[in-house]
């Protein structure tokens, strides 16, 4: 809590200096056209002379509005998230909003505190990239707050809220279908938290692709673990140490795939030759990795842009219907599965 020592120049002082009323000065700062040019210029001159700085906090307070939007994400060091954030930020900034950022590092507790903080700061709206273990308790908290909100990337059941994300089921189906066509019959599914919507959707696609070929899934090839590089390494170790290891690996995300490939290297197994690997997200590094990673685009920047636009609508029109925007994914076949 910082105390401001230096006192600001107020609009009242500006008005006095310009010889007009405060209300007139207020209309000038807000560019209201019903002020005459002469008066406007006089006031603007006084503002400059005194070094006036507009106080948005006071303005927002009185007008009960806000041009701050809260954005809560799981982890900005994950390229998928930072790309998403860029989409959100550029869009909101061009609409005149500023972003209050919170990072949960996938902790539900921290997320809960951040949501409260945002609401206490009276943000105009919230964009949420939920932690993977978000629960019914989270849903309850979200439903209680009146602030317009949009969920991105990850849904949560029973939350009355707009949503923007990619079609994870279809994306996974495409990846698995591709591997099955190549003749693989033992495909591992590594990473992700089983209770999260992003995992459940992918699993549906995983199942459907197998069903299409009348194949059954070996549950021992499914490893539920945090979707990070570390998680990938550990999951790979678990699955390769089994009596019947897989011949191909579907990873929850590119980050998991990088961990998987790192551990494969450590074991002198060559991705794309000895075993096939597919990721998810198509982050910029995927293409530049060695070998380049087959993966599914999930267009994080577009998701960010759409989430921001959706929130903008929610904030400005009332009583709009809930929307769900689901982007179509795209499979990029590269060297790890050719």
Q: Which residues bind a second copy (CB under 8 A)?
A: 1-6, 51, 53-58, 60-61, 63-68, 76-77, 79, 82-83, 85-86, 89-90, 93, 96, 98-103, 117-122, 124-125, 144, 146, 148, 258, 262, 284-285, 288-290, 315-316, 318
100 binds DNA (CB under 7 A): no
Cβ partners under 8 Å of residue 240, min gap 6: 267, 269
Taking each helix axis as running N to C, give the angle between helix 197-212 and helix 168-181, from 0 to 180 degrees, rounded to the nearest 10. 40
SS3 232: helix
What one-character DSSP code corresponds to residue 221? Answer: G
Among 2, 5, 34, 94, binds DNA (CB under 7 A): 34
68 binds, among a second copy, DNA, none (CB under 5 to 8 A by kind): a second copy
63 binds DNA (CB under 7 A): yes
30 binds, among DNA, a second copy, none (CB under 5 to 8 A by kind): DNA
Spatial separation of the C-alpha atoms in residues 148 and 129, rounded to whole Å: 15
> What are φ and ψ of residue 205, in 5° steps?
-65, -40
Query: What separation in angstroms does the CA of 218 have from each of 178, 185, 186, 208, 253?
Result: 18, 10, 8, 14, 21
Taking each helix axis as running N to C, give the angle between helix 79-94 and helix 300-316, from 0 to 180 degrees, rounded to the nearest 10. 40
- Which range touches DNA (CB under 7 A), out of 6-14, 162-170, 197-205, 230-238? 6-14
Q: How far is the CB of 250 from a second copy (least distance, A)?
A: 21
26 binds DNA (CB under 7 A): yes
8 binds DNA (CB under 7 A): yes
Q: Binding residues for DNA, how many (CB under 7 A)? A: 30
67 binds DNA (CB under 7 A): no
Q: How far is the CB of 66 from DNA (least distance, A)?
A: 12
Q: How far is the CB of 8 from DNA (least distance, A)?
A: 5
Query: Would you say 26 or 309 has its CB closer to DNA?
Result: 26
- Residues 272/295, Cβ–Cβ less than 8 Å: no
145 binds DNA (CB under 7 A): no
Query: Would you say 18 or 236 has its CB closer to DNA?
Result: 18
Among 49, 54, 116, 145, binds DNA (CB under 7 A): 54
Query: Would you say 63 or 214 has its CB closer to a second copy?
Result: 63
- Residues 19/49, Cβ–Cβ less than 8 Å: no
Spatial separation of the C-alpha atoms in residues 338 and 336, rounded to whole Å: 6
288 binds, among a second copy, DNA, none (CB under 5 to 8 A by kind): a second copy
Is 5 exposed, middle or buried (CB count within 10 Å of its CB: 0-12, 13-18, 19+)? Answer: exposed
Q: How far is the CB of 43 from DNA (least distance, A)?
A: 9
Query: Would you say 67 or 330 has its CB closer to a second copy?
Result: 67
- Residues 190/235, Cβ–Cβ less than 8 Å: yes
DSSP secondary structure string for all residues of 127-160? EE---TT--HHHHHHHHH--S-EEEES---TT--
Spatial separation of the C-alpha atoms in residues 10 and 53, rounded to whole Å: 8
- Separation of CA 268 from chain center: 35
Query: Would you say 55 or 230 has its CB closer to DNA?
Result: 55
24 binds, among DNA, a second copy, none (CB under 5 to 8 A by kind): DNA
Dihedral angle sign, alpha carbons of residues 124, 308, 102, 196? positive
Among 41, 49, 61, 320, binds DNA (CB under 7 A): 61
Binding site for DNA (CB under 7 A): 7-8, 10-12, 19-24, 26-27, 29-30, 34-36, 38-39, 52-55, 58-59, 61-64
């Amino acid at each position: 809590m910082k105390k401001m020592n230096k006192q600001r120049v107020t609009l009242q002082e500006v008005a006095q200096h310009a010889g007009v009323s405060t209300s007139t000065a207020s209309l000038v700062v807000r560019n209201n056209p019903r002020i005459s040019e002469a008066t406007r210029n006089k006031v603007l001159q006084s503002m400059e002379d005194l070094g006036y700085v507009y106080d948005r906090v006071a303005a927002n307070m009185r007008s009960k509005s806000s041009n701050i939007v809260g954005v809560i994400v799981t982890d900005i060091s994950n390229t998928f998230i930072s790309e998403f954030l860029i989409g959100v930020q550029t869009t909101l900034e061009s609409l005149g909003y500023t972003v209050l950022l919170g990072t949960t590092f996938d902790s539900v507790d921290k997320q809960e505190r951040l949501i409260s903080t945002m609401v206490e700061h009276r943000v105009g709206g919230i964009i949420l990239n939920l932690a993977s273990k978000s629960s019914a308790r989270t849903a309850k908290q979200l439903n209680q707050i009146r602030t317009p909100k949009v969920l991105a990337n990850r849904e949560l059941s029973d939350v009355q809220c707009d949503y923007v994300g990619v079609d994870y089921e279809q994306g996974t189906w495409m990846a698995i279908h591709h591997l099955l066509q190549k003749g693989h019959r033992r495909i591992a599914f590594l990473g992700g938290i089983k209770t999260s919507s992003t995992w459940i959707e992918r699993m549906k696609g995983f199942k459907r692709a197998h069903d299409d070929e009348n194949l059954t899934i070996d549950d021992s090839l499914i490893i539920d673990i945090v979707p990070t590089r570390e998680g990938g390494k550990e999951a790979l170790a678990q699955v390769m140490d089994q009596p019947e290891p897989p011949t191909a690996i579907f990873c929850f995300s590119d980050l998991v795939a990088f961990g998987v490939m790192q551990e494969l290297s450590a074991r002198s197994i060559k991705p794309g030759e000895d075993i096939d690997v597919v990721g998810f997200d198509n982050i910029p590094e995927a293409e530049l990795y060695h070998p380049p990673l087959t993966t599914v685009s999930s267009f994080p920047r577009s998701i960010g842009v759409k989430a921001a636009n959706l929130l903008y609508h929610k904030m400005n029109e009332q009583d709009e219907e809930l929307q769900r925007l689901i982007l179509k994914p795209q499979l990029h076949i590269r060297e790890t599965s050719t």
